[in-house]
Amino acid sequence: MDTLRWIGDSATGKLALIDQTRLPGECIEIELQTAEQVWEAIKMLRVRGAPAIGIAAAYGMVIGMQSADSDDVGSWFSQLEKVIDYLASSRPTAVNLFWALDRQRQVAERLRKSQSLEEIATALLDEAGAIHEEDRQMCRAIGRHGAGLLANTSGVLTHCNAGGLATADYGTALAVIFSAHEDGKKLHVYADETRPLLQGARLTAWELKQRGIDVTVICDSTAAQVMREGRVQAVITGADRIAANGDVANKIGTYQLALVAAAHEIPFYVAAPTSTFDLSLENGNQIPIEQRNSGEVTHIFGYQTVPDGVDVYNPAFDVTPAHLIRALICEKGIIDPVTRQEVKNIV
Ligand code: MRU
């Protein structure tokens, strides 16, 4: 089943996607037919992972414009801006969301004078399809570039889910593992469970098992011990936003993993497409960090684990400074060393 797929034309079509909140118990597809449903699916992590969020938002623009008045250019373009602002308010950290919405705005504005509104709506669907297909290609290229980095590795640790579910279909961090595996490399993957929403336990373990790759799920707090025991020779994660100096925002817990990897002299790699780089930001301090509901910490799938009235702090992401990252892997190649200059040279 595809992580996301479009059904129909631009005028009446809809977005189908795997509801990732139901995995691993059930792999079911839901169909989204309103901008509100797309917003909710992104907010609630039914679709998640930076590239997949961008793809969903690009298709969400097509859906959000289906109700626009196609007899009035001014009102059509004013709805376009409203839909962009609305979808942009779903989650703040993954830059792919804003990048995809901006691409859609540029397509509409470029055609404003020369095409009918129906043609522009079709062009929005074409652009969403292009973003989707480009992501597929980028993920494959990331896998090819990164696989060689695992040549002397038998155990690798990853955090959260940066696999096919987080992208068009092959992943970023997991693409490197998939690609090495396809080359015949035998790898054992340690997947952090990734509290509070367990993307590692629920999604990464599911994807690796489906592909026949050995996987062991560990509590997040077990990572240092796994390194101390010599079980892993590399750590690889995805990213939600990368600043111009190479600082990386990724799922909460990534920063402490990078610190622990440095303490054990284990290389820490980050894999992400260029659509995840935000060169307008000097460094990671400027990346907005999403704060999520305390209920994600106080309750585990409906069961209360924290006493009533106790305060909770629940940032969804953290920032890993560039100096802790051995290399960034993107579809254009490997950024090593991770410096402002090298990011500028390659991205
Ligand atoms: O909150 P999520 O599940 O959307 O967070 C996702 C991550 O942090 C991933 O590691 C990151 O987006 C990379 S996805 C290829």
Is the same domain home to 86 and 188? no
Is the same domain home to 32 and 53? yes
Residue 51 near ligand 1, beta carbon < 6 Å: yes
Domain count within the chain? 2
Profile the chain (347 residues) by mean pLDDT over runs of 10 residues. 97 98 98 98 98 98 97 97 98 98 98 97 98 98 98 96 97 98 97 98 98 98 98 98 98 98 98 98 98 96 95 98 98 98 98
Domain end: 95, 121, 140, which one?
Answer: 140
Is the same domain home to 314 and 176? yes
Q: Other CB atoms closer than 10 Å to residue 250's CB: what's the count?
A: 29
Read off the CATH number of the domain in which 21 is found: 1.20.120.420
- Distance between CA 219 and CA 194 in Å, rounded? 7
Q: Determine the pLDDT at residue 301.
A: 82
H helix or E strand, kind and range, residue 304 = strand 303-304
Ligand 1 atom 6: residue of nearest CA: 49
Which atom in ligand 1 lies closest to the alpha carbon of residue 160? 10
- In the chain, what is the straight-line distance between the N-terminal and C-terminal CA atoms, in Å? 32
Strands 241-243 and 277-278: parallel
Ligand 1 atom 12: residue of nearest CA: 49
Separation of 48 CA from ligand 1 center, angstroms? 6
Is the same domain home to 113 and 174? no
| Cα angle for residues 22, 27, 29 (degrees, 5° grid) | 90
Residue 202 DSSP symbol: I
Q: Determine the pLDDT at residue 310.
A: 98
Separation of 237 CA from ligand 1 center, angstroms? 9
Q: Determine the pLDDT at residue 248.
A: 99
Which atom in ligand 1 lies closest to the alpha carbon of residue 159? 10
Active-site amino acid positions: 240
Separation of 135 CA from ligand 1 center, angstroms? 15
Residue 199 near ligand 1, beta carbon < 6 Å: yes
Domain interval for residue 54: 4-140
Is the same domain home to 249 and 126? no
| Cα angle for residues 345, 107, 131 (degrees, 5° grid) | 60
Over residues 69-94, the pLDDT tens digits come to 999 999 999 999 999 999 999 999 99
Residue 238 near ligand 1, beta carbon < 6 Å: yes
Separation of 251 CA from ligand 1 center, angstroms? 6
Is the same domain home to 187 and 307? yes
Is the same domain home to 231 and 133? no
Which atom in ligand 1 lies closest to the alpha carbon of residue 53? 4
DSSP conformation letters of 125-145: HHHHHHHHHHHHHHHHHHHHH
Separation of 317 CA from ligand 1 center, angstroms? 9
Domain end: 123, 140, 157, which one?
Answer: 140
Domain end: 140, 166, 183, which one?
Answer: 140
Is the same domain home to 133 and 199? no
Read off the CATH number of the domain in which 282 is found: 3.40.50.10470
Phi, psi of 4 (to 5 degrees): -140, 150
Is the same domain home to 168 and 110? no
Residue 52 near ligand 1, beta carbon < 6 Å: no
Is the same domain home to 153 and 132? no
- ω into 288 cis (within 30 of 0): no
Over residues 120-174, the pLDDT tens digits come to 999 999 999 999 999 999 999 999 999 999 999 999 999 999 999 999 999 999 9
Which atom in ligand 1 lies closest to the alpha carbon of residue 167? 15
Name the residue of 136, 206, 251, 277 to mutate for ligand 1: max ligand atoms within 8 A of Cβ.
251
H helix or E strand, kind and range, residue 321 = none
Is the same domain home to 119 and 200? no
Cα separation values, 329 from 102, 140, 142, 239, Å: 24, 12, 6, 11
Is the same domain home to 89 and 237? no
Residue matched to tokens 């790699």: 269
Q: What is the pTM of this model?
A: 0.98
Residue 103 near ligand 1, beta carbon < 6 Å: no
Residue 316 near ligand 1, beta carbon < 6 Å: yes
**Comparing C-alpha atoms, which of 289, 346, 269, 274 is closest to residue 94?**
289
Residue 239 near ligand 1, beta carbon < 6 Å: yes
Q: For residue 243, how many C-alpha atoms fall within 13 Å in the half-sphere facing its CB?
A: 19
Which atom in ligand 1 lies closest to the alpha carbon of residue 317? 8
Separation of 51 CA from ligand 1 center, angstroms? 9
